[in-house]
């Protein structure tokens, strides 16, 4: 019996130390190799190298997706951002939760829709509501995990007065007293690099907000006429978007004709090109610190800008694609693919859970977005993503939009009216199908009502977190054309 047992090839004699050493040695080797393989293929940085990676989230205010070469623009405004996309992942169809800064950025930070996070404005009253203290932001998640968290921001809406400082250990806020003396992209890059140098190599989460493409259009001299048509090159400085000009535009004293739109677009292009150059300097600065290999870079915008696409100018007043379609680029070449394009429709709400998952930090339960990491790291491109809900209107009653599959419904509750667009056939949203597609409109309207229903009690209870602006803050927002 004992003889037969000893012949069993799967068992070693307990007394045979030589075989036992070999057995344990082999087992150790297999386990070690397995662990190594698993770590090599985990997409986040923390688990692979047992060190935490940094994040730089670049938020370019007022940046239309179609301003970027990698999104089809032919005017070569954005070589740096295009290279970022070549080195990383470009989301072709990312949409913002709101067409103006405060609710949109609060949605990026909290991964919640504006009705849920409540940062924004009361209908038509020009009273603003701040992000409540109890809201959970991505920066707070990073702070809890011991990262340095910092933000360089250039408009009051992103400051402590509106609750958007939550989670940032260091907030470098520059509030300009007139919109012509805002902090330039160059100074913003300098401030961000100073912040990074002061914390590196301690792991960091840093938000860098560039404000230049926002009004006033006043790019540096070398960018002012670079994109202008020959007949528009006046030889004198042309600036647009002062408070007086905006008041005159809104009351009709300045006509929004084709020539003006053309000149405004060329100035805006100059601001975009200038900002692109400065983003390049930010990335070079990370490289000089040798921080680039261990830094995830995300680039997006809070909303776009209208140039008469639907009869208007600026932003905050509609939910058409020129205001909601924003760029989204993610770069982390040592861990993620390079030059990958993601066609699925995604949302700015999805940015925070993506960053959190990639860094291996806990995702708060309140985040309603969905991590994009599977789209980044896996080859399966067939999965359809979630519908996009957007809301808000700076200048009047609230508007809602619901983009699902090939269709997008815009709902104007104060007018009890809807518009419907087939966004695959009519991506610029000019052909309203609502009159002939009543059933589809009703179904999509029901979807919108389902999304906002949980928050209607909040809506009716009034805004719990009104911002009391100081005289200085009022003057600054007036200078930007935001207050009357
Ligand atoms: Zn903005």
Answer whether residue 60 is part of any domain. Answer: yes
User: Residue 196 belongs to a domain with what CATH number?
Assistant: 3.40.720.10
| Model pLDDT, residue 380 | 67
* Dist. CA 62 → ligand 1 center (Å): 5
Question: What integer pLDDT is reported at residue 246 of this predicted model?
Answer: 85
For 277-297, what is each residue's pLDDT tens digit?
999 999 999 999 999 999 999
Least confident of 20-24, 432-436, 449-453: 20-24
Domain membership of residue 70 as a residue range: 51-386
Q: pLDDT digits over 334-344, tens only?
A: 899 999 999 99
Domain for residue 429, yes or no? no
**From the CA of 46, how far away is ligand 1's center (Å)?**
32
Q: Residue holding tokens 């639907």?
A: 310
Nearest-angstrom CA–CA distance, 280 and 60: 13
Please say if the pLDDT value at position 482 is more than 70: no
CB atoms within 10 A of CB 50: 8
Q: Is the pLDDT of residue 381 over 90?
A: no
**Residue 419: inside a domain, yes or no?**
no
303 found inside a domain? yes
- From the CA of 452, how far away is ligand 1's center (Å)? 23
Q: How far is the CA of 61 from the centre of ligand 1 (A)?
A: 5
Please state the rounded mean pLDDT for residues 375-403.
86
Percent of the chain with pLDDT over 70: 82
Summarize the confidence of residues 34-61 as an average pLDDT.
Answer: 66
pLDDT above 90 for 100: yes
Residue 2 Cα to ligand 1 middle (Å): 81
Does residue 464 form part of some domain?
Answer: no
Residue 447 maps to a domain: no
More confident of the two residues 339 and 28: 339
Residues around ion ligand 1, judged by CB within 5 A, are: 61, 101, 302
Q: Is residue 80 part of a domain?
A: yes
130 has pLDDT over 70: yes
pLDDT given at position 40: 46
pLDDT above 80: residue 468: no
Query: How many A from CA of 102 to the centre of ligand 1?
Result: 7
Domain assignment present for 137: yes
Q: How confident is the model at residue 123 (pLDDT cuts 50, 70, 90)?
A: low
Query: What separation in Å is there between the alpha carbon of 252 and the centre of ligand 1?
Result: 24
Using alpha carbons only, what angle is made at residue 87 by residues 83 and 92, rounded to the nearest 5 degrees?
80
The Å distance, Cα 94 to ligand 1 centre, comes to 16
The answer to whether the beta carbons of residues 191 and 137 sit under 8 Å apart is no
- Mean pLDDT of all residues in 149-173: 96
pLDDT band at residue 241 under the 50/70/90 scheme:
confident
Q: Ligand 1 centroid vs 145 CA: distance in angstroms?
A: 29
What is the distance in A from the centroid of ligand 1 to the CA of 88? 25
**Under a CB-based contact definition with an 8 Å cutoff, are residues 167 and 138 in contact?**
yes
Question: 359 alpha carbon to ligand 1 midpoint, in Å?
Answer: 27
Give the range with max mean pLDDT: 175-184, 231-240, 255-264, 265-274. Answer: 265-274
Q: Is the pLDDT of residue 444 over 90?
A: yes
- CA 432, 433, 435, 438 dihedral sign is negative
Tokens of 187: 């100074």
How many Å lie between the centroid of ligand 1 and the Cα of residue 13? 74
Q: Do residues 321 and 429 make contact, with C-beta atoms less than 8 angstroms apart? A: yes
Question: How many domains does the structure of the chain reveal?
Answer: 1
Cα 481 to the center of its chain, rounded Å? 23
* C-alpha radius of gyration, the chain, whole number: 26
Task: Please give the distance, rounded to the nearest whole angstrom, from the Cα atom of residue 55 to the centre of ligand 1.
Answer: 21
- Looking at the predicted structure, is the pLDDT value of residue 236 above 50? yes
């Amino acid at each position: 019996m004992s003889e037969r047992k000893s012949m069993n090839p799967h068992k070693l004699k307990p007394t045979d130390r030589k075989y036992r050493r070999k057995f344990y040695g082999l087992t150790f080797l297999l386990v070690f190799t397995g662990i190594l393989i698993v770590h090599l293929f985990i997409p986040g940085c923390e688990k692979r190298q047992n060190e935490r990676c940094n994040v730089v989230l670049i938020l370019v205010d007022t940046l239309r997706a179609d301003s970027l070469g990698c999104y089809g623009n032919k005017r070569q405004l954005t070589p740096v951002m295009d290279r970022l996309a070549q080195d990383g992942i470009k989301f072709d169809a990312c949409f913002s939760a709101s067409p103006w800064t405060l609710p949109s950025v609060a949605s990026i930070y909290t991964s919640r829709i504006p009705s849920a996070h409540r940062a924004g404005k009361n209908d038509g009253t020009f009273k603003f509501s701040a992000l409540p203290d109890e809201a959970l932001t991505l920066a707070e998640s990073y702070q809890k995990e011991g990262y340095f968290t910092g933000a360089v921001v250039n408009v009051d809406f992103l400051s402590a007065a509106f609750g958007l400082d939550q989670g940032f250990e260091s907030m470098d806020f520059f509030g300009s007293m007139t919109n012509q003396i805002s902090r330039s992209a160059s100074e913003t890059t300098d401030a961000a690099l100073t912040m990074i140098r002061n914390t590196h190599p301690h792991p960091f989460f840093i938000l860098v907000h560039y404000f230049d493409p926002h009004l006033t259009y006043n790019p540096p001299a070398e960018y002012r006429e670079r994109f202008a048509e020959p007949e528009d090159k006046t030889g004198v400085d042309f600036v647009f978007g002062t408070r007086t000009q905006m008041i005159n535009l809104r009351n009709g004293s300045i006509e929004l004709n084709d020539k003006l739109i053309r000149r405004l677009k060329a100035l805006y292009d100059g601001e975009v090109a200038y900002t692109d150059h400065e983003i390049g300097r930010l990335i070079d600065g990370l490289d000089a610190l040798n921080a680039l290999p261990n830094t995830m870079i995300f680039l997006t915008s809070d909303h776009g800008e209208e140039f008469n696409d639907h009869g208007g100018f600026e932003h905050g007043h509609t939910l058409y694609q020129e205001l909601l379609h924003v760029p989204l680029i993610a770069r982390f070449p040592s861990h993620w693919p390079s030059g990958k394009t993601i066609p699925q429709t995604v949302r700015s709400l999805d940015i925070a859970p993506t960053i959190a998952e990639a860094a291996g930090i806990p995702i708060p339960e309140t985040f309603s977005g969905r991590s994009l990491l599977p789209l980044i790291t896996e080859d399966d491109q067939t999965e359809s993503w979630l519908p996009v809900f957007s809301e808000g209107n700076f200048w009047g009653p609230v508007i809602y939009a619901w983009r699902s599959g090939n269709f997008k419904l815009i709902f104007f509750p104060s007018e009890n009216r809807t518009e419907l667009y087939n966004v695959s056939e009519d991506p610029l949203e000019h052909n309203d199908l609502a009159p002939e597609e009543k059933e589809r409109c009703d179904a999509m309207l029901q979807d919108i009502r389902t999304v906002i229903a949980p928050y209607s009690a909040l809506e009716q209870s009034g805004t719990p977190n009104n911002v009391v602006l100081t005289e200085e803050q009022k003057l600054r927002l007036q200078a930007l054309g935001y207050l009357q």
